[in-house]
Chain A
């Protein structure tokens, strides 16, 4: 699926993450801002990549501002952002959830 619209989900509160997805051209590109980037940066990227793959998104620019979110929070926020970016908020993909 092609991302044509920029969308955002999540907040900047403690234990949450803000994920912004916009149109990309060369694979999935990340920009991560996190206090625990060193420890969990790769894991955060992996979680987001997994969700994007389930939506068959091949190209996207993803900006992550992490405030110490747990894995499932990252997953949930990514799902919300992708659904918004693809304009399919009213058609949840149950197999991803």
Chain B
């Protein structure tokens, strides 16, 4: 069984590949998905394609295998071996795969572990650092079982008085609060900047721990719809996965019993996300939706408004939305931020 590279830039190969996958029940060939593929490999039997798989970043995708005439699973294992080896060569040691529920055992058989699933799809991972490494790196609250521990997930692009208000409220109502900052570098403010501004903005609250959201909290891998336009059913599926991952893997380990959300009048995606969280989490985790804070002039505080003001050079208008730490940072780095926007960094959405 010879594994070959499939170059999808060749329309003929792409057509064959797509036809084979369609036969196997994979039908999503939207530009969003296909454009992300880094490498595709395949096995031919004579002229016919009988197995294929692809790599996109740290995700294994578009795996399909025809079992006819060979030992069950042998082609699948060959494809997976090659994909994993290629990922390792790229220096990627932590791998994800999304698959249909019926293929979960096949992946578990080659060392993947299930993270979360819905009836539509299941997320599995393999390699290191895995979710256990991630969780054990987070500082744990001492004798946490009788304490009230809450979590907030935020992108904080950038940190506003609205974020501050939400964290302050959670800190007051709980013994300890984890603030997970989205780790994907896809926003106007870089991850380092966002984490720094959150830390600076809540430095006076001693029971708040700032944690990087890693690959598990609203990451580009598990929840790409957060970062780009997507259809509602895609958002619904991804938010459900994100919510279940939080509920089943993250919350129990850290003894989190509450999650705080800011009400979402402005962003469509985040609004669906909030609804999903309320639906999915409620049996184990109390969800508190905190109404958006309004600025002293009665405007809803929103990081989107802040980013627009940076783009149009009107930061004076938003001074009452930002803590001093964020304001100082923006003033100091105005030129850099505006330059990023000019270079095509999107400021709408999240």
Say whether A6 contacts B128, CB under 8 Å. yes
Residues of B within 8 A of A65 (CB): 110-111
Kindly state whether residue A73 has any CB partner on chain B within 8 Å: no
Partner-contacting stretch, out of B76-84, B143-151, B156-164, B254-262: B76-84
A48 vs chain B, min Cβ distance (A)? 15
B343 contacts the other chain (CB 8 A): no
CA distance A31 to B111 in the complex (A): 9
Q: Check A33–B111 contact: CB distance below 8 A.
A: yes
What separation, in Å, do the CA atoms of A65 and B178 have in the docked complex? 35
* CB within 8 Å for A18 and B74 given contacts A63-B111, A65-B111: no
Assess whether B85 is interfacial by the CB under 8 Å rule. Answer: yes
Q: When chains A and B are docked, how far (Å) is the Cα of A14 from the Cα of B80?
A: 13
Given A20-B127, A22-B93, A33-B109: A8 in contact with B88 (beta carbons within 8 A): yes
| Minimum distance in angstroms from A57 CB to a CB of chain B | 16
- Residues from chain B with Cβ under 8 Å of A6 in the complex: 88, 93, 127-128
Instruction: Flag whether B71 is at the interface (Cβ < 8 A).
Output: yes
How extensive is the interface on chain B, given as a class? 10 to 19
Contact for B71 among A7, A14, A61, CB less than 8 A: A14
**In contact, B77 and A13 (Cβ under 8 angstroms):** yes
Chain B residues close to A by CB (< 8 Å): 71, 74, 77-78, 80-81, 84-85, 88, 93, 108-111, 127-128
Contact between B77 and A61, CB atoms less than 8 A apart: no
In the bound assembly, the distance between CA atoms of A20 and B93 in angstroms comes to 9
Identify which of residues 7-24 in chain A touch chain B, using a CB-to-CB cut-off of 8 Å: 7-8, 11-14, 18, 20, 22
For residue A33, which residues in chain B have a CB less than 8 angstroms away from its CB? Answer: 108-111
B80: chain A residues at CB < 8 Å are 12
Q: Name the one of B71, B110, B127 contacting A12, with C-beta atoms under 8 angstroms.
A: B110
Min CB–CB distance A13 → chain B (angstroms): 6
Residue of A nearest to B77 (CB): A12
Name the residue among A12, A13, A14, A67 with the largest chain B CB count within 10 angstroms. Answer: A12
Chain B residues contacting A12 (CB-CB under 8 Å) are 77-78, 80-81, 84, 110-111
Q: Name the distance in Å between B119's Cβ and chain A's nearest Cβ.
A: 26
The complex places the Cα of A22 from the Cα of B93 at a distance, in Å, of 9
A13 and B81 CA atoms in complex are apart in Å by: 8
Closest Cβ of chain B to A60, distance in Å, is: 11
Partner of B74, one of A8, A14, A63: A14
User: Is the beta-carbon distance between B81 and A11 smaller than 8 angstroms?
Assistant: yes
A24 to chain B, nearest CB (A): 10
Q: Which residue on chain B has the smallest CB distance to residue A10?
A: B81
Query: Given the complex, which residues of A lie within 8 Å of B127, measured CB to CB?
Result: 6, 20, 63
Closest to B108 in A: A33
Max count, chain A CB within 10 A of own CB: residue among B81, B84, B88? B81
Residues of A within 8 A of B81 (CB): 11-13, 18
- What's the Cα separation between A33 and B84 when bound, in Å? 16
By beta carbon, the residue of chain B nearest A32 is B111
Assembly CA distance A69 to B93 (angstroms)? 23
6 shortest interchain CB distances as A-B pairs = A65-B111, A12-B77, A11-B81, A6-B93, A12-B81, A22-B128
Once bound together, how far apart are the Cα atoms of A13 and B82, in whole Å?
10
